[in-house]
Amino acid sequence: MDNVNLIDTFANFKENKDIDRATMMGVLEEVFRGMFEKQFGTSDNFDFIINIDKGDFEIWRNREVVPNGEVEDPNMEVEINEVHKIDKDYEVGEEFADEVKLEDFGRRSILSLRQNLSSKILQLERENTYHKYKEKIGDIITGEVYQVWKKEMLILDDEENEMILQRSEQIPSDFFRKGDTLRAVVENVEMKNNTPLIILSRTSSTFLERLFELEVPEIYDGLITIKKIVRVAGERAKVAVESYDERIDPVGACVGMKGARIHGIVRELRNENIDVINYSENTKLFIQRALSPAKVSKVNIIEDEGRVEVFLDPDEVSKAIGKGGLNIKLAGKLVGYEIDVFRNIDEGEIEEDVDIMEFSDEIDEWVLEVIKKIGCDTAKSVLKISREELINRTDLEEETVDRVLDVLKSEFEENK
């Protein structure tokens, strides 16, 4: 193995991994010193001259000139006769430097040197990748799908660094094949068995935030701030925004002309519904906006219990709850309160209606609590909903819903 082979190894590595010159030279010298210390017990008397640009290097050993027959350590001392064969001007006591050739160490030592060099290069490559992506946590990257498994996908970046997109971090309706290009946010980076493990995500709120920064220049420039994002990936998201410039409508800027800006984000997120909400320091107003598209009549904040009671007209209740209770769930996360929904009821209606919890002797209490969570706190409010809608919104078994409806209907039939 000659000098060129070693330098070529490093030159290729530098070209692919963007390693700086000082690091390259340091690693190469470290590998040499390790070999010399193993061979001679020390490497302190060796000098290394490395020229990366020209692709060569020199190794020089410094030894003290001693009288003939008085050499105790051949690595540190050299006889005067040997020195005079090269240069007769040297005298005893001076330091003599001669060049060391790799071929003098034998094939086994050179092979070991090359293996150590490759190992150092690989270690350096992994550390470089780790630090590079550690700084990219929270940033969007674009990669190519290399392998698809049941629980995760292997993604490669432009430098063929490996990244993992787990199934739990994919939008439920995501479908990718080998060779597809995708975008995701760097969620976490850690070293596992001395190998960087780069975890990506398409479900995190950070991914949605970065997409808004890409699509909305006012957010990227800091004129509009995203105060908070909550989402159920692939289903619905709520984004609270605020503008520091009174001339800018933050919601309008995020949506864009005819929805042009937000449509790009929605497509990326597999048609996820996105509610952009104008943030307010007024908590009651913010709660009303968070429950959009429902129109709230009244808000009652119970601070010590960490919950709020909102009152709506009967035809607005289903909008506030949302499909599967998703709208009210996200609204609660956005404002930081548990939200209880109540219908506005006329006094006459109250007299002839019955509180849902009064049926606890015939219906399990947990079932009644589930029904209350969709905004039905009285018997008539339940009966106004169709059987199919009640099943969908409560996720109760059909038999359970039928039992509830029978009990409630019989209550009013008996009172006729």
**Residue 4: predicted pLDDT:** 45
Q: Where are the domains of the chain?
A: 3-131, 136-203, 347-414
Q: What angle do CA 202, 143, 269 make, to 5 degrees?
A: 30
Question: Which CATH number is 136-203's, of 2.40.50.140, 3.40.640.10, 3.40.50.20, 3.40.50.300?
Answer: 2.40.50.140
- CATH architecture of the domain 347-414 equals Orthogonal Bundle (1.10)
Q: For residue 231, is pLDDT > 50?
A: yes
Q: Each residue of 121-135: pLDDT tens digit?
A: 788 888 889 999 999
318-353, pLDDT tens digit by residue? Answer: 888 888 889 999 999 999 999 988 887 654 444 567
Quote the pLDDT of residue 1: 42
Token pair 């190992």 is found at 119
pLDDT computed for residue 284 by the predictor: 93
| C-alpha separations of 349 from 353, 368, 372, 375, 380 in Å | 6, 20, 18, 16, 9
- What is the reported pLDDT for 121? 77
In angstroms, the CA 395 to CA 201 distance is 29
> What is the pTM (predicted TM-score) of this model?
0.70
Q: What is the dihedral of CA 199, 204, 207, 208, to 10 degrees?
A: 170
Contact 122/152 with Cβ under 8 angstroms?
A: no
Residue 416 has pLDDT above 80, yes or no: no
Quote the Cα angle for 204-173-254, to 5°: 50
Query: What pLDDT sits at residue 5?
Result: 56
- 242 has a pLDDT exceeding 90: yes
| 3-131 has CATH 3.40.50 classification | no
Q: % helix / strand / coil in the chain, to the nearest 5?
A: 45, 25, 30
Can 3-131 and 347-414 be said to share one CATH topology? no
- Extract the tokens encoding 101: 């050739």
Mean pLDDT across the chain, nearest whole number? 86
pLDDT > 70: what percent of the chain?
90
Digit-coded pLDDT (tens) for 140-193: 999 999 999 999 999 999 989 999 999 999 999 999 999 999 999 999 999 998
Q: How is residue 347 written in tokens?
A: 């006094």
CB 309 within 8 A of CB 302: yes
235-253 in b/e burial notation, b at 16+ Cβ within 10 A? Answer: bbbbbbbebeeeeeebbeb
